[in-house]
Every structure is written in C-alpha cells, then in structure tokens.
Structure 1
C-alpha cells in the first residue's frame, strides 16, 4: 500500500475534521476514538472546526486577521497529526468543506 493520505478539512456540523483520502481505503470521516491521535490533539482539531463555523459562516471583513490565524493553525495541526501517526502519513489541509 502507498502512503496513507488524510485530509484536514472543516465541515458543517461535523465536529472532527479529519478525513480518510487514501485510495485503497474507504474514504470518509475518521472516528476520533479509533484515530490513534492523543486526546489533546483530538480536542484541538474539534475546536479548530468550531472556529471555522464562527469565522467563515458570517464571513465578515473585519475577521480577516482571525481567519488567517485559523489557516496557520490548520497547517500546524496537520503537521502534528503527521507526527503522531507516523512517517507513512501525509495530511493535506483544505479550508472549505
């Protein structure tokens, strides 16, 4: 099997924003309880998704700085997922569902 591919992507009403994207595996949302991630990282990912709903659904111009910080945090969380799950994992980040 090739490297495992995951996607970090916000979703309406879905609290855990990590998705399986490896072609050989069933694509779709990952169960946080069986993800292999630490409880702390799981909670931070859930919070990241909740922030998306707060920052992007009203899409107010005055929130631009906060949206940029949210995107930077997404890249950082993706790297942490890769570190926790091992060398054979690649995590892509998308900022829209």
Structure 2
C-alpha cells in the first residue's frame, strides 16, 4: 500500500520496471473497489497520522483494528479482481 491521505493506496512493483503508484484508471480494478480504496486511505490519515488528541484509547484501538482488517479485505479483493497470478502484499507503517 502506498501513501496516506487522498491518494490511491496501491503501488505496483513489476520486475524490471520502476516502482510506483498503480494508476486506478488503467489498473483493471472495478470503480467500486477503487472508490473504497481511496476512502480507506483517507481513513488511515484520520486514524494513524492525525495530530488530534486521542480521547478514548480503547475506541481508537478498536477503530484501528477494524481499519487494518478492512485493508486486508481490500487487498484480497484486489487479488481476486486482478487474478491470482499477481502477489498482493500488505504493509502498514504507523
């Protein structure tokens, strides 16, 4: 997964080619999945990289866990839509 915020959170790494953000228009992914990936990435900024104080640590941890599970589900859907011949790797850095 790529940068946080209002960007497409999927990177492409093809042997012999430059690593970079996957183009959502030409990716072959459904429009619905593309929109869900954008929304998921915006949520990452709110949960992980916000400067706002955490009022309830328990609720924050629950939301972060849910966000992580959702990311893994989205990654599985990428694999299904693009075919199992590709490798989808999920990396969270927070």
Do the structures match in fold with TM over 0.5? yes
TM-score band by shorter chain is: 0.7 to 0.9
Any gaps of 5 or more consecutive residues in structure 1?
Answer: 1-7
Specify the alignment match of 2:61 in structure 1: 64
Q: State the structure with bigger RCO (CA 8 A, min sep 6), 1 or 2.
A: 1
Of 20, 27, 32, which aligns to 1:28? 20
Q: TM-score, normalising length from structure 1?
A: 0.82
Any gaps of 5 or more consecutive residues in structure 2?
Answer: none
Number of aligned residue pairs: give it: 89
Higher strand share: 1
Larger radius of gyration: 2
RMSD (CA atoms): 1.8
- Quote how far apart the aligned CAs of 1:88 are: 0.9
| Counterpart mapping for 1:79-94 below 5 A | 79-94=76-91
